[in-house]
Structure 1
Amino acid sequence: MDDEKHKGPSSGAAAGPFVMSKRFLLMLVAVAAVSPLGINLYLPSMPGMTAALGVDYAAIQFTLSLYLASVALGQLVIGPISDRYGRRPVLLGGLAIFVAGSVVCTLAPSISVLNAGRVLQALGGCAGIALSRAIVRDLYERTQAASMIGYVTMGMAVAPMVAPTIGGVLEAWHGWRASFGFLALFGFGTLAVVYILLHETNPWRGDTAQSQSLLKGYGKLLRIPAFWGFALTAGFSSAAFFAFVGGAAYVVINLMERTPVEYGLYFGLVSLGYIVGNFLSGRFVAKVGPQQMIRLGATLAFASVLLTAFLYALDDMRPLFLFLPTTFLGMGNGLVMPSCIAGAVSVRPEVAGAASGLAGSIQIGFGAVVAPIVGALVTTSAWPMIVVTGLCTLMAMLSMQLVSK
């Protein structure tokens, strides 16, 4: 349909069926990809950054944890603000902050300045995560929203799939600063596209009662067991992925003595699995049902960790024995995430922004906790990474029980 039909809150789910144009869909994909790019693009540079900045690996690992923690906290604020003032102005502001943070990182002379830039990047980039989902929920009812979020995140997953490869090439050619320069350019391009294409989608913005109680939306959500079921399942599933991210670069580059480019290529398998999972979710969630899709994905993720442990026990120097089974972890997350997020933002549609922000905060916050733990433990082998990943997938399976209460 023509982009003019995106204008105004009348495009909301309550107004009837909505057909999303390809340009609008690609815009949402780019918006949602900004923050994952900020996470994954510089991963191959992390071991090399230790020498460039004169710090140990733990200090570089902290830049990832700091980013994840800032994303988690930022979404708590972004969601309610967008419920009150609208998705468009908040998203534009967030993207502008992301660009500024990327420039700071590119020019950073020290680890402390780099950390400050990472905080800015995260606070700006988290708007893309929370608001891309809230925009979809503004336009679609719950089951359709799960399907559309699946398609959006399927496209978004291309970013973390290719990011480590791009980052590895940029590291080899121009050093670690080139990755952050790339992020600044991508963020600026996305900002321009959003300014041109996005019209306001939130039909509840400006509501007087809501403006008097931005935090009451959280109060409503916290009393609903189903919200906790969806949010915790997403959180532990995400934590499983970040447990792998937190240790994989060190294991492959330092312990297995492979190059950053090789690591980036292997990492693409995990993202490919995530893409497939999201495609299957978008294609079949209406037939299978969101809750069944979540259970299937969580079970697949847990089984993938068991397979990883078995293969790694056979040979601890083959990267493929880590990444091939973890492809199915990515696929399981691709099945879980769209339905979990759609479920979380649907329990109270009038506070979809707050729900998306809180669920996203839990999702990324769990990753911020496990990533540095794994990074500190994988000094001689990948076993700590495998064990923590397995525990997270098990907790995801158990958390889903809250949805039926």
Structure 2
Amino acid sequence: MNLRIILILGALSAFGPLAIDFYLPGFPAIALAFGTDEKQVQLTLASYFLGLSIGQLAYGPVADRFGRRVPLLVGVGLFTLASLACAFVPTLEWLIAARFVQALGGCAGMVLSRAIVSDKCDAVQSAKVFSQLMLVMGLAPILAPMLGGLLVNLYGWQSIFLVLTVFSAVCSLAVALGLPESMPAEHPRHPLAGALGQYRRLLADRIFLGHALTGGIAIAGMFAYIAGSPFVFIKLYGVPPEHYGWLFGANAAGFILVAQVNARILGKLGPALLLSRAVWVYLAAALVLLGIAGLHTQALWPLLIPLFICIASLGCIIPNASACAMNGQWARAGSASALLGCLQFSVAAGASALVGVLHDGSAVPMAMVISLCGIFAVSAAVLTRRLQRTRDASVAQTAQV
């Protein structure tokens, strides 16, 4: 896969994190503009997550029927129009609706970028490309809130959505001119009427489901961190809001670094082995984090070390879990990518909500949810590895006969 295609896929993969992190600094300004509070503004984030979950399931079968380019161009175009609408909505209710439509368009890039990688690469190559795309996922949380805050201060909250409009329009042009159809002509084109059947078969594939849940549960731990860290850092330990971005960025830098190391060593160890080891690192760090949080220490730094290890280990877990799940899907890569993304965001949304439900004025709820994610991720990874070994042994035995 050449650099041009990787850059385009990286930009498409950025739609999700950009549309989430970019406008967070604008919450107070949006609340003021519509005469409401930030709690109501958070509904615009909830509607976006809802659109991501629903939209991904729709794009998968469409991509397996019509190829990757056409649905991708439609989705990016929809994101562009919805972003422009977000900048000029008259009420908060309209903004909530526009954000939902924006998510329906934006998730096309997330679903189809994975499908395109699967079309062009084997498991090891896919994991390498996914690791390179992690660079975008890691940089977006660092840069987006900073740039978003600057735009809000200089030009108002509407400027954030105008920048997203321009960015997505440029991406649409890049797709039209520089991204050829990746779905091989010989692959069967599944009719849309069979979409539910495809999803049922994928859910019945315990190895696909195991890898998808391993990655999804690990991502849920990251969402628990995103949901809980503002309170823990700023409210509980008194970190100035302007310094919060530096702590957040340090963890994202660890995520990026591990993802790039993962890409370099994949050829020797393979994605399945790296995944099986990385989840144990994540769990060990999460349990240490929970133990320190339970001590209610007066200093923040003891929490920062295991938290850094948890987030950094995701740079190995997420690309390898995605590559293992997508391996061998071929003709149904679109549906597999859609279901993978839907599972990830559904579990992640539940984890972030659980942090709020368990809130007790300490760091324990965040650490507890991250630890639970570690336990379930390890369980899913161990069980899936056993299932894979059993399947491989059965295939080898059949081949000998």
TM-score class, shorter-chain normalisation, is 0.7 to 0.9
After superposing the two structures, state which structure 1 stretch, 167-176 or 136-145, moved more: 167-176
1:380 aligns with 2:361: yes
In structure 1, distance between residues paired with 2:269 and 2:83 = 41
- Is 1:59 the equivalent of 2:40? yes
Return the offset for 1:243: 1.1
Give the distance between the partners of 1:185 and 1:317, measured in 2 at CA. Answer: 43
SS at match of 2:194: coil
Q: Are the counterparts in 1 of residues 64 and 332 from structure 2 also a CA contact under 8 Å?
A: yes
Is residue 339 of structure 2 the alignment partner of residue 358 of structure 1?
Answer: yes
Offset from partner CA, 1:338-373 (integer Å, 9 cap, x none): 111111122432101110110111011112222233
Whether 1:147 and 2:150 are equivalent positions in the alignment is: no
The answer (yes or no) to whether the contact 1:250–1:378 under 8 Å persists in 2 is: no
Q: Does residue 27 in structure 1 map to residue 8 in structure 2?
A: yes
In the alignment, which residue of structure 2 is the partner of 1:135?
116
* TM-superposition CA deviations, 1:44-99 (whole Å, max 9, x none): 34456444444344333333233223212211111111111111111111111112
Q: CA offsets per residue over residues 302-345 of structure 1, 9 Å max, x none?
A: 23333444555464674x66555433222211101111111112
Q: Report what 2:158 is aligned to.
A: 177
Partner of 2:326: 345
What's the counterpart of residue 298 of structure 1? 279
Aligned residues of 1:204 and 1:350 also touching (Cα < 8 A): no
Segment of structure 1 superposing worse, 67-76 or 254-263: 254-263
Counterpart Cα distance in 1 of 2:239 and 2:95:
26
Number of the residue aligned with 2:311: 330
For the residues of structure 2 that align with 1:209 and 1:305, how far apart are their CA atoms? 42
Q: Is 1:107 equivalent to 2:85 in the alignment?
A: no
Matched, 1:117 2:115: no
What displacement does 1:129 show? 1.0
Alpha carbons of 1:353 and 1:73: their partners in 2 closer, same or farther (altered >3 Å)? same
Offset, 1:199:
1.0
Aligned CA distance change for structure 1 residues 294 and 139 (closer, same or farther; 3 Å):
same
Instruction: Indicate whether 1:40 and 2:21 are aligned.
Output: yes
Q: Give the aligned residue type for 1:214.
A: A
The one-letter amino acid paired with 1:294 is: L
Residue 391 (structure 2) aligns with = none
Determine the structure 2 residue equivalent to 1:166. Answer: 147
Instruction: Please give the TM-score of this superposition, normalised by the length of structure 1.
Output: 0.86
The Cα RMSD (Å) is 2.5
Q: Which runs of 5+ in 1 are unaligned?
A: 1-19
**Counterpart code for 1:67:** Y
Match of 2:263 in 1: 282
- Tell me how far apart the structure 2 counterparts of residues 173 and 253 of structure 1 sit (CA, whole Å): 24
Determine whether 1:73 maps to 2:54.
yes
What is the count of residue pairs matched by the alignment? 385
Residue pair 2:47, 2:97 contacting (<8 A) in 1 also = no
Shift of 1:109: 3.6
Give the AA of the match of 1:232: L
Conserved 8 A contact 2:13-2:136: no
Equivalent residue for 2:205? 224
Q: What is the CA-CA distance between 1:299 and the residue it aligns to?
A: 2.1
- Give the TM-score normalised by structure 2: 0.87
Identity %: 34
Higher Cα Rg: structure 1 or 2? Answer: 2
2:78 counterpart letter in structure 1: I
Q: Which runs of 5+ in 2 are unaligned?
A: 388-401
Q: Which moved further from structure 2: 88-97 or 67-76?
A: 67-76
Q: Is the 8 A contact 1:84 1:205 kept in 2?
A: no
Mark the CA change 1:182 to 1:265 in structure 2 (over 3 Å): closer, same or farther.
farther
2: distance between equivalents of 1:386 and 1:151?
28
Quote how far apart the aligned CAs of 1:254 are: 4.8
Letter in structure 1 aligned against 2:307: T
Contact 1:164/1:263 (CA < 8 Å) preserved in 2? no
CA distance in structure 2 between the partners assigned to 1:47 and 1:378 by the alignment: 22
Equivalences for residues 226-305 of structure 1 within 5 A: 226-256=207-237, 258=239, 260-305=241-286
Deviation of the 1:260 alpha carbon:
4.6
Q: Which is further off, 353-362 or 255-264?
A: 255-264
The alpha-carbon deviation at position 253 of structure 1 amounts to: 4.5
Which of 350, 357, 373 is the aligned partner of 1:392? Answer: 373
Whole-Å separation in 2 of the counterparts to 1:57 and 1:80: 37
- Residue 263 of structure 1 and its aligned partner are, at CA, apart by 2.5
What is the match of residue 196 of structure 2? 215
Per the alignment, residue 88 of structure 1 pairs with 69
The match for 2:399 is none
SS at the partner of 2:166?
helix
**How far apart, CA to CA, are the structure 2 residues paired with 1:80 and 1:316?**
52
